[in-house]
A and B are shown apart, each in its own frame.
Chain A
């Protein structure tokens, strides 16, 4: 009986809690940290948040005040909303269109990367076919390839098919991702038991039905994290959109660029706009930050 309990604690689903308990019990190593740890962490969080706070402060000031003092005032005030209204209403900024474009691009990319990665991951992790090993190695090797250096032919291609200035040109290169395939392969090879697949097959399910009804539900936790990473990546993406899109059909990061070129003397407007552009992802972060943290700690890759 004792041995059963130990097994459950070291390997089973309760491992995290058991480890925490063990840590809590074993004196010196695991007592609650001293206050200095919290002070340092608090300082880190302050530094993390300060640039965002700074946009609010500058957004509440006037350009004249900003030109005279580094910190014109210490608290944001209601004039901030006038700046927001100006940015949102300016015809040369196209804020709402940019927001819509960013949502469309990020959501489509996230869904398609998740779908294609899960499909390929299922195949690589659980099916047998000739060439599986070399192809998987190929996928992994391509993760290290800086594909953004192919922008020139990509631009020529988009120009040939008449997509310059249209958001399809941003979506197309984003709909698959080598890291996604690697990630889902890793996850499914551990999380999806062969017995489950066989059971589905014995019940007469076709391959695609097996994927849809067995593999996809199993993959859900990893798929959610992958989707979030792609969402953040595409939402903050600037290099390729800045080449292939323009100010009349922008994404949110391009709005920041056009703020700078239209109002570079008026820092209060620019900073108000920068905050506005950042806000949507911050709101999303409040709800999914936990998953992002878990995903990174489970081995997500940058970018």
Chain B
């Protein structure tokens, strides 16, 4: 298993994440709706809106998973936030980065992963909107476009939160 390296802007990324005051907050219908829509649209058992903290990934919204966080060292999203665009892992068992990952070999048994980084206008990738399946699969161009749009809508909600906080601080 290969743990993801840290983004070059890790300090700024974490500062932007903490400034949103969103970690460990209660469920929010705006984000819940997006992951529920994604799970239904792509017919995947698991869809998450993840925020990558210093040593964990925490799920702001989730479908199909009981836990609300996992370690960053075993997270797929730690890799996805390094990518410029959507990271697709068609079959985790065939990918040396993830083949022996405990999230692949054990519960929830990840085989397919697609993570769209939640990148703020500042360039800070806070986490992902991701799809997970227990069987190998791929996404075609239209599906990638849909996932990208849902990610953009989630980022808009996050940016709105950022703007609202700036207004409150002013």
Are A and B physically bound partners?
A: no
Q: Measuring CB to CB, which residues of chain A are less than 8 angstroms from any residue of chain B?
A: none
